[in-house]
Structure 1
């Protein structure tokens, strides 16, 4: 309990909870829509924005956000308008972002400070301003899913059927790509670019073991993410190991436990 007296640990706890909420909501759409590879492409493409921000002396998070949104919209545009396969477009943007990031960092004079936080994350460096951004994102996602739940649900499971039902499929696709990109960039501070894709997929596939209901997947994903973040944060602090990596290990352990529980349930005839 003494840890809770420190501001940096309070910020880490609150930030972890808020990011888990955002990742739980967005990640459910990513997994159901099978956009996991796209989330990885956006994550690594944002590295180009980080490098550009450092090179220009701007806020790297802002430039990474711009790169991420441009990459997400670019994949959506190329795959629908020019009939380019999504995996091909993602591969190009993935490589382009990483290459530009490395180039801009090389051209930046002097020693580049804080790059390890973007690559590997450090939840203990979250500030009050970061928490406000996380809270705004979480609230925006909750309101959006509350107002457009039917359209998002139909688009996620069957976009063609959603078009037949006269739902705004294209608007939903671009809106969700915006939220995916924003959530990815805002979450970099927690686990870094290297591990970020796991944060928006592992809780969801763990929840998917027990339910196929979209609403329940969202709720379970948020709960798994929050618990995993809190457990990983506390244990990593006492073991003095990187918190981001340990949070992912805890989430993977939850996935393994979920598989084990499901296997036992099947043996006993419980579904």
Structure 2
């Protein structure tokens, strides 16, 4: 099979075209948001929100409304409950996150087990990107576009919030509002990625691209470009591999991201486990040869 045929073969099917668009949209917005989540240290919060939307999706199915409606409501509810438990008790934030997201996730599993349905609701847990319909694609695109625009327009404020909240407050910004806005965008982004990889793997799409880009550059502006690009390339690669190897699309996309992170973790020039040592070794070898050259030069007759 020639390369062009290899690329075009999956696109002959409408469901694969919708899956391709969905995966790219989800990957780009997740990759962009992941930059701030990594810097702020909200990996566990991303996990909490992605799992907490499960009962909202099931209740939305029961009520006959779009899944996104229930998911968004429970995403915001999870964030509010975590803040309530943290601020009104001696329980620390990480414990509050664990309590809220596991309870809501368990509630969603119970609802799935008792809800009679002609639709396999388990795809909410593991994703069903090949089953995305035209209406669902529109919902995903609208939510992703909203998140993307807000992140781009407020990127300077969010970046200052991530690096120095005291300075942000000193220049007139409200760190609480910025934090709440980021959490709200996190809830919306979890809904976007839900259809692609399911609630179990959403956190991977929200963390791995940003963590990978963080190992590749020290400049946040470059991170904002690298993370979505890495995420999009992995999404495309995973989708094509899943088509030809007959594997689960969502899991394969996340596996591709994990593979890229592993390569960067090992071989990144500055931060890589092996790459950084090679750079240091080359630098030492170059420095050790410099004095000999200098001595030879100084010893020449004037």
TM-score by length of 1: 0.91
- 1:95 Cα deviation after fit: 2.2
Provide Cα deviations, 1:100-120, integer angstroms capped at 9, x if missing partner.
213323332x34622221111
Going from structure 1 to structure 2, the CA distance change for 1:142 and 1:187 (only over 3 Å counts) comes to closer
Q: Does residue 275 of structure 2 align to residue 264 of structure 1? A: yes
Give, in whole Å, the separation in 1 of the partners of 2:113 and 2:240.
36
Matching of residue 11 in structure 1 with residue 18 in structure 2:
yes
Q: Which residue of 1 aligns with 2:97?
A: 90
Aligned length: 270
Match of 1:118 in 2: 124
8 Å CA contact retained: 1:51, 1:105: yes
Shift of 1:77: 4.8
Uncovered stretches (5+) of structure 2, i.e. residues with no partner = 1-7, 269-273, 284-302
| 1:1-271 map, 5 Å | 1-79=8-86, 84-108=91-115, 110-111=116-117, 113-262=119-268, 263-264=274-275, 266-269=277-280
CA contact (8 A) 2:58 2:121 kept: no
RMSD, matched Cα: 2.2
Q: Structure 2 CA distance, aligned partners of 1:59 and 1:137?
A: 13
Of stretches 129-138 and 95-104 in structure 1, the one that deviates more from structure 2 is 129-138
The answer on whether the counterparts of 2:53 and 2:71 sit within 8 Å (CA) in structure 1 is yes
C-alpha contact (below 8 Å) 1:41/1:90 kept by paired residues: yes
Runs of 4+ residues over 4 Å off in structure 1: 80-84
Gaps of 5+ in 1: none
Give the superposition deviation at 1:231. Answer: 0.4
Change (3 A) 1:142 1:106: closer
CA distance in 2, matches of 1:218, 1:72: 25
Q: 1:28 to 1:83 in 2, by over 3 A?
A: farther
The answer to whether the 8 Å contact 2:147/2:189 transfers is no
> Are the structure 2 counterparts of residues 152 and 104 from structure 1 closer, same or farther at C-alpha, using a change threshold of 3 Å?
same
